[in-house]
Amino acid sequence: MTEIVLPADTNNYGTIFGGRLLALADKCAAMSAVRHCRRPVVTASFDRVDFLRPVRRGYFVVLTGEVTATFRTSMEIQVTVEAEHPERGERQTTCLARVTMVAIDEAGRPVAVPPLEFDSEDERARAERAAERRRQRLARRDLEAF
């Protein structure tokens, strides 16, 4: 998905607000998840966000989302954000995020998602790394319960 960075999206330095970029990443992750499971989804967590460089007013923000792993009711989505110069077309990666989305039914309860089909060993290895991240995230959540 692509958006233009407008003045209302920017801070006093003329660069996009981090919160605005997170909202766009959330939307991109949701669309990627829905395309995979063909069900409504909700955001469970942003597991990692790296802001690599600022995005200036007037640039295009190009977001791509990819389902990197599926679990029983959740999916890990890798979101890549690029800033594109509107006249030269040059792109630079500006943000990377991992988002966990959960599929839900009409009552808002979690439902099973279809497994991810792998086209390569690299994809399978990436899903295994995602499963390890999930195990660590769930263990942290249990330790840090309110």
Distance set, CA 112 to CA 70, 121, 129, 146 (Å): 10, 24, 21, 27
Token pair, residue 124, equals 């399978």
**pLDDT at position 140:** 81
CA dist., res. 143 & res. 46, Å (int): 18
pLDDT in tens, the chain (146 residues): 999 999 999 999 999 999 999 999 999 999 999 999 999 999 999 989 999 999 999 999 999 999 999 999 999 999 999 999 999 999 999 999 999 999 999 999 999 999 999 889 998 999 999 899 998 888 887 777 65
Token pair, residue 13, equals 């330095």
Q: Considering only CA atoms, which of 99, 102, 94 is closest in space to residue 48?
A: 99
Query: Which class does domain 2-116 fall in?
Result: alpha beta
**pLDDT at position 145:** 65
**pLDDT at position 139:** 83
What are the extents of the domains in the chain?
2-116
